[in-house]
Structure 1
Amino acid sequence: MAEAVDGCVRHGLEAIGLWRQEVAAQGLDETVALVGNAGLRVSSLCRGGFLTSPDFEADNRLAVDEAAALGAACLVMVVGGLPGVVPGEPLGEISRDLPAARARVAEALAVLAPYAAERGVRLALEPLHPVYCADRAVLSTLGQALDLAAPYAPETVGVVIDTFHVWWDPQVFEQIARAGAEGRIASYQVCDFLSPLPADVLLGRGMMGDGVIDFGSLTGAVTAAGYAGDVEVEIFNADVWAADPDDVVSTMKARYVSLIEGA
């Protein structure tokens, strides 16, 4: 955590997206102090969710409390896959009832949203690419996420627009405009969709410009929808992780300027 915060400061970045396991490793109070002393915003805390699990409540309440302590702009919610399906593990006893799994997400959200509202935390539903529907997120489109968010105030439940997950959707521009009109855009995340994908598709995210996504059209739509918050670069990629961090951030900044900022 200290290394990441220091890297942000040295490279002139103004905000950092935090992951809960790294916050836990550093300690919540220590992380609050590190980020605050560095003058950084917390653009998001990732992640809460897996709401299709029967024991979703305790950990998600803790995640809300952590987001409140950190002053995070939102708590990213990866809602979970089919009940019983565990990412990276062989199938055992599972449910194949996808509509029921989505209904469980709605029921869990009804429990968590009032708790988040009391603590001033915005839950941000993140639809994931359909390849992750079984094990990570039964929300596959921005439209589905917006439908789930609709019963709640926009400042309590919003949505994440992640280029990797939504670029393929034929309704994405219509739904981005809808999200803007409803005041629901809580986070805009960018990275590229590599082709071919690696064997572990979770690591198929690339640096902007290394894949197939048209960032100009997506970023233009998000901007036109009124989003003016932080833009997060979120890359899961073994080669990027193994590279020199300063080189990675320098490349990221250059690609951001050419592909995102100029859109």
Structure 2
Amino acid sequence: MSLLEPAVIVTTLRAAGCVFAEDEAALLISTARDDAELAQLVDQRVNGLPLEHVLGWAQFRGLRIEVDPGVFVPRRRTEFLVAEAIALSRPGAVVLDLCCGSGALGVAVASAQRDVDLYAADVEPRAVRCARRNVLPLGGQVFEGDLFEPLPAALKGRVDILLSNVPYVPSAEIKLLPAEARLHEPLVTLDGGDDGLALLRRVAAECRGWLAPGGRVFVETSEQQAVAAVEVFTQNGLDARVTRDDDLFATVVVATTPHPGPA
């Protein structure tokens, strides 16, 4: 039997610890252009490269998002954050995907809502290059730099929906992450500082100058961090609440800028 027979590939992937070996084998077979490429893809996966990096794309809310090696892979649980944002968005909204990685979050919102004015930013050059391929076809713009720093000043006070999936893993817990993340995704996309909220604090402190009246921030946290995250936003003058999806093990904090009162 050939080493590239589907049954052999499934067995090989399963032996390497791939839980969904049948599904992965089917994806690898359908992606490869010839036997040589298929052998290479199987070898990459067996050696621990995330499936999405092997394929060159990830599925996110039914969309195929390009994901290059060394770029953060969008998680399925983050689909809940996007669903919450879509539910509270409107046609023509100004959407900012901060710490955008591949741009998956902003692309998903823009694909679900009409006439979105989409912006994205990330500090990682590889992520920015990847995000541009996903975001630009929707008419969006992608900037490289630290949080809000690279954004055009004209965007201040105009953002309706701020998607900010900042890293929130405490530094001491990075070593506990699955090897696929720990070894193949940039540390800057995972490490949230001593308590996991270092980047979230910066976003909370700076976001009001960029948000429109009534604009909202959506951030993902762990369940244990949610109360502290709400407090961070309230200390910076935003109204904040926690929402959860138990099926996806997802916890999201939604923070809203107050509308100005009557003159």
TM-score > 0.5 by shorter chain:
no
* TM-score (norm. length: structure 1): 0.32
Which of the two has higher C-alpha Rg? 2
- Structure having the larger proportion of residues in strand: 2
* TM-score (norm. length: structure 2): 0.32
